[in-house]
Amino acid sequence: MLVDVDQIAELLLKLVKIYTPSGRESELHDVLSEIIEEFGYEERYVDEVGNFIASYGNGIPILLASHIDTVPG
């Protein structure tokens, strides 16, 4: 699989432009859901505390962790 640096940069810019202070991450959840759907992830949801969770197939699980909220200022 080749990496398209321009496509990655465009995606990153799209994500960081979304206003996401704590408690207002739902727009970013929606965008993330759309993005990973394109990669074939069938199960995706937001849990009761706002974690975005997705799964793909039945292989060995991996965890990617990151804050998606931002602090204004």
Q: How far is CA 60 from CA 5, 18, 55, 57, 63, in A?
A: 28, 32, 11, 9, 10
30: amino acid identity, one letter: D
pLDDT (0 to 100) of residue 31: 93
Encode pLDDT of 15-36 as tens digits. 999 999 988 999 999 999 999 8
Decide if pLDDT at 49 tops 90. Answer: no
Phi, psi (rounded to 5 degrees) for 72? -60, 145
Q: Where are the beta strands (DSSP E) in the chain?
A: 43-46, 52-55
Q: What share of the chain is helix, strand, coil (3-state, %, to 5)?
A: 35, 15, 50
Domain boundaries, the chain: 5-55
What the block records as the tokens of 52 is: 């975005």
Q: The whole model's pTM is what?
A: 0.77
Give the residue-averaged pLDDT of 40-65. Answer: 87
